[in-house]
Every structure is written in structure tokens, then in C-alpha cells.
Amino acid sequence: MSRLSMQEAQDLLVTEPAWLTALAGAVWVTRHGDLGDYVLQAGERLALARGERVVVSALHSGQLALWDWSFAPTRSPQRRLREGVALGFDVVARVLERAAVGLAALARSAALMACRAQGCIKAGDSIASAGTVQ
């Protein structure tokens, strides 16, 4: 837990996944490589990834902000495996969905080309009665 004012901006390197929580006041967080800044009010938190660099300071000059840094619990190997399998199935489902859309478009295109080449045949007519077979 740390108290800081605008004059006490701190540049931090995240060594493990963590949560940055504002306990009092407003905390201003800037992530290196991120164009957006984050303002945390009391009770709000921000997830930080391993290897990130962040600058933490109070939002308003002269006002104190109280914040806490806590490491995020690590996921079990079983949970990581389940998440990986779920991600794999999600990717496969998206690929199959796009393939289905593509095949449906191809079928519509083939039907349209056949209609143009043969002339449209009404339901109940055969190719022979339409005059195409002699």
C-alpha cells in the first residue's frame, strides 16, 4: 500500500500478473506503449500483465491518493488447459462458420448460373419438357 501525490509519480515494472487497486482518492495510471490513460477511483482496480511498465500518480496535484498492488492468483495447469482447448474449439467454430457462409454463396452463384444457362425451369417441369433435350 502506498500514499502518493502528483509530485511523486512512480515508474513501476510488473514482474508478475497483478492488480492495481485505488483505495482512496483518484489514481492516474499510464501504461508504456498504450495511448490511453486510466483513472481509478476508490474501489476500482486495473489488471496488469507481467512485463508491463506503468507510471502511477495521484490524479490531482497536491491531493493524496492511496493505492494497493497485489499479485493476481496464478491459474492452475488444468484451468489453462481448459482455456486452451476452449480457445481451439472457438477458432475451429469460426472457421467452419466462415466456410459454411462461403459454400452457401457458392451454391447460390451456381444456381444462378444454371438458371441463366438453361433458362428457369418451373417446379414440376423436367429438362426434357423444357425443350433442352431432343
pTM of the predicted protein model: 0.48
**pLDDT digits 0-9 by tens, 76-108:** 778 778 888 888 898 999 999 999 999 999 998
φ, ψ of residue 33 to 5 degrees: the values are 85, 0
Q: What is the CATH number of domain 2-71?
A: 2.60.120.10
Contact 57, 9 (CB under 8 A): yes
Round the CA-based radius of gyration of the chain to a whole number and report it: 31
Cell output for 27: 489514481
Q: What is the pLDDT of residues 10-28, one digit of tens each?
A: 888 888 888 888 888 888 8
CA distance 76 to 73: 9
Q: What pLDDT was estimated at residue 35?
A: 85
Segments making up each domain of the chain, as ranges: 2-71, 75-119
